[in-house]
Structure 1
């Protein structure tokens, strides 16, 4: 029974639950960023560069089978080795955008979490018995 209790304590600790929530939200957030990159940013970048779709930028490293149209998807299905640098560019841009968004989020969270300035230190109050002893001492010195 001890191991089950230990596991329950481990599983319900705040850090484990926070991590699980973070992984779930991160997965969903990753899909949103994929959509932003694939559907919004990459078409704009492709229009500026002159290509509409980076995902179809590749070099064929093997021989193309006869009757194949030569698209990346078809070549991969046929088992033809391809150097798909366009997909890499898309993933790199995706990562850069995701990293920048996370940076902005952490920056905002840190700004909101800034500690309040420390309260001014109150003057230390001398206990009454010490004050009386000092008065007696001072009166004896005179």
Structure 2
């Protein structure tokens, strides 16, 4: 049983999956930084300095000024947080789309350039005979 588990765990697909998860976690941190540190401040400037991460609609309890306080007070719709996560998702989806598109293009280019087909022996002999006859007529 231990041997079977070792074979399963060390198969290429399992290792590839583990590497993908690790890279995905690092990529997630990068995307979060791009959204929170670059894109959202630009959107905030375009919309007049609005910080979307702290935008919410409080449905219950006393009115609050911060998202954390509003969540503690009762039902709260944190649409700013949703907007940030939506932008994260769109960035990840776009980058993955570009990666897959590039990989597909490389596969097509590789498949489009097949190895040259060897000339059949009888055709090669006929060409040789033709070339010899052409030389005899000229000379």
Calculate the TM-score normalised by the size of structure 2.
0.77
Aligned to 1:121: 117
Aligned to 2:97: 103
Measured after TM superposition, the shift of residue 79 of structure 1 is: 4.6
Q: 1:37 aligns with which of 28, 35, 47?
A: 35
Question: Alpha carbons of 1:84 and 1:7: their partners in 2 closer, same or farther (altered >3 Å)?
Answer: same
1:48-63 alignment, distance < 5 Å: 48-63=46-61
In structure 2, stretches of 5+ residues that fail to align are: 123-139
1:1-20 alignment, distance < 5 Å: 3-20=1-18
Is the CA contact (8 Å cut-off) linking 1:64 and 1:70 kept in structure 2?
A: no
Aligned to 1:91: 85
Q: How many residues align?
A: 120
Higher relative contact order (CA 8 A, sep 6+): 1
In structure 1, stretches of 5+ residues that fail to align are: 127-142
Structure with the higher helix share, 1 or 2:
2
